[in-house]
Chains A and B, each alone.
Chain A
Amino acid sequence: MRRVNRNEKARVSLTLNGRKLSAEAEPRMLLSDFLRQALGATGTHVGCEHGICGACTVLIDGIAVRSCLTLAVQVEGREVTTVESLAAADGTLNPLQQAFRNNHALQCGFCTPGILMSFTDYLTRNPHATTAEIRDVLSGHLCRCTGYAGIVAAVDEVVGGG
């Protein structure tokens, strides 16, 4: 049994984008804040903090989830993957990111990290997603620049449908 009292900090060890790391967190610290503040991985954005906007979506053991609806202490021993993992070390964009660039699928870019991570999971499960399926997955994200058409076109391009 693992127990962390409210005013204690627990050391949380995880694999972040292939690197083993650890840092301290209080029980109430959200994974979104832990990534940005304790681990310095600021690619994950924080919007609404109640699971609606999708900006903070990351992968835990390959599954897309809201990092604002996950506690830092819950990822002990898990593998967390964020938007920082997508491009190559020399900055070359991966095919999903390149398709976003090709299709003007971002304006301000605030929502983009979460959307990229959602489709990183979804396209692994369903590499030939239809436009309707892409729109359904995208419904879990808010883009306040309302660039949805470009985002759908980008993912369509990746699956070879566009």
Chain B
Amino acid sequence: MKPRPFDYVRPDTVEEAVALLAEYGDDARVLAGGQSLIAMLNLRLIEAAVLIDISRLAELDALRDEGDTIEIGAAVTQNKLMAWPGLGQKLPLLAAALPFVGHFQTRNKGTVCGSIAHADPSSELPLALAVLGGEVVLRSQRGERALAAGEFQKDMLTTARAPDELIVAVRFPVMAGSGAAFREVARRHGDFAIVAVAAVVEEGGAVRLGVGGMAGRPMVRRIEGDVAAAVGEWAEQLEGYEDLHATPELRRDLFRNLAPLAIAEARKCAA
């Protein structure tokens, strides 16, 4: 299908983009890669009065190594991050997760920040941000603030972004030297996951485990001791949800099976 009519605005600076958001608020949608937004517009699942195209803003197309964190601007594509030479060393969880994000052709245009802004409960990048304890940088005419991943993503496709705020970047903490692993089950490679798990080994051997597809947003818990027991207990507490692809029971079952594999793989990387 074709989208309903909308106005198109391409600002030349972030200041102009933020001024447009102050003017239009909820009537506007920010267009970066468009790999979810334009699909939803085409299907008429959503409509917008105005699209604000930030994809050409050079100041947002930057990947900055700040030492402790890697800051990724809102126009940086998923394939640009995947091709960054420091990725495997500094963000090994993202190196493992990015190949599961859509396909080569959609990663060429889809942005890292866009996926996090979209806030699908089973998608890979919001899960990685939550497990690593990263943050989202929001700017408006009122100023700039950074929200922790857990404060940013509220529920299914719902975030704490105010209508006048632009996501200008996300920050991932660098994790040097510890193991990380990512696993997911999807009907076909490149589809949204039914269940996705991410595991990161902490100093001292405990694991930070994150799961997508079991609640309205990624959930994170520290796992120590008997992995199977800890995962089994958590699986019962997570409510899961039913959609076309899976029942809550199937999701729980997938989670119980995937999580120990990811934890073992992360521990092996750390050793």
Chain A interface residues (CB < 8 Å from chain B): 1-7, 10, 26-28, 30, 33, 49-51, 54, 57, 63-66, 68-71, 73-74, 118, 121-122, 136-137, 139-140
| Whole-angstrom distance between the Cβ of A5 and the nearest chain B Cβ | 5
| Whole-angstrom distance between the Cβ of A102 and the nearest chain B Cβ | 24
B11 (CB) vs chain A CBs: closest residue = A1
Are A140 and B106 neighbours in the complex by a CB distance under 8 Å?
yes
A65 CA to B110 CA, complexed, in Å: 10
A54 (CB) vs chain B CBs: closest residue = B105
Are B5 and A3 neighbours in the complex by a CB distance under 8 Å?
no
Q: Interface residue tally of chain B, by bracket?
A: 35 or more
A63 CA to B108 CA, complexed, in Å: 7
A63 CA to B4 CA, complexed, in Å: 28
Question: In the complex, which residues of chain A have a beta carbon less than 8 angstroms from the beta carbon of B11?
Answer: 1
Q: Tell whether B39 is near chain A: CB-to-CB under 8 Å.
A: yes
| Whole-angstrom distance between the Cβ of B15 and the nearest chain A Cβ | 11
A32 CA to B43 CA, complexed, in Å: 15
Question: In the complex, which residues of chain B have a beta carbon less than 8 angstroms from the beta carbon of A118?
Answer: 104-105
Q: Tell whether B271 is near chain A: CB-to-CB under 8 Å.
A: no
A64-B16 in contact given A28-B5, A71-B38 (Cβ < 8 Å): no
Q: Is the interface of A mostly helix, strand, loop or mixed?
A: mixed
A30 CA to B41 CA, complexed, in Å: 11
Question: In the complex, which residues of chain A have a beta carbon less than 8 angstroms from the beta carbon of B1?
Answer: 49
List 7 additional A-B contacts (Cβ < 8 Å) besides A63-B108, A118-B104: A3-B8, A28-B6, A49-B2, A57-B105, A73-B10, A121-B108, A137-B105
Are B35 and A64 neighbours in the complex by a CB distance under 8 Å?
no
| Whole-angstrom distance between the Cβ of B46 and the nearest chain A Cβ | 12
Question: In the complex, which residues of chain B have a beta carbon less than 8 angstroms from the beta carbon of A4?
Answer: 7-9
Q: Tell whether B42 is near chain A: CB-to-CB under 8 Å.
A: yes
Q: Tell whether B53 is near chain A: CB-to-CB under 8 Å.
A: yes
| Whole-angstrom distance between the Cβ of B80 and the nearest chain A Cβ | 10
| Whole-angstrom distance between the Cβ of B59 and the nearest chain A Cβ | 15
Contact of B42 among A5, A7, A30, A65 (CB under 8 A): A30
Are B108 and A70 neighbours in the complex by a CB distance under 8 Å?
no
